[in-house]
Amino acid sequence: MKKAKIFVPTKNSMQSGLGKSDKWIIEFESEVSGINPLMGWETSTDTLSELILEFSSKELAVEYAKKNKINFEIIEPQKRKTVKKSYADNFLK
């Protein structure tokens, strides 16, 4: 079976909050891609590369991959670093 990656997608640059960022996604990796000679776009005959599956937890995504014998790689999300700032800090230096 194809290789897939399991990850949490990054938030859209138009979003300021972290809402709806709790979904885990299985996305299949495409090995063969080429250039369409007519339009010059990237193209592939592999239809699995277009398939994106969403799950509510990492455990459900891993269970699905194991049940369907999919080789997978888990990409853990990075935690955001928050720095507490104070307005008074502008005047202390």
Neighbouring C-beta atoms of residue 16, cutoff 10 Å: 8
Query: How confident is residue 5, by pLDDT bands cut at 50, 70 and 90?
Result: very high
- pTM above the 0.85 mark? no
The CATH number of 1-9+22-31+42-79, from 3.30.530.20, 3.30.530.50, 3.20.20.80, 3.30.160.190, is: 3.30.160.190
Q: Where are the domains of the chain?
A: 1-9+22-31+42-79
The torsion region of residue 85 among left (phi > 0), alpha (psi -120 to 50) and beta comes to beta
pLDDT value for 61: 95
Percent of the chain exceeding pLDDT 90 equals: 39
Residue range 29-55, pLDDT digits in tens: 877 778 888 888 888 788 888 889 999
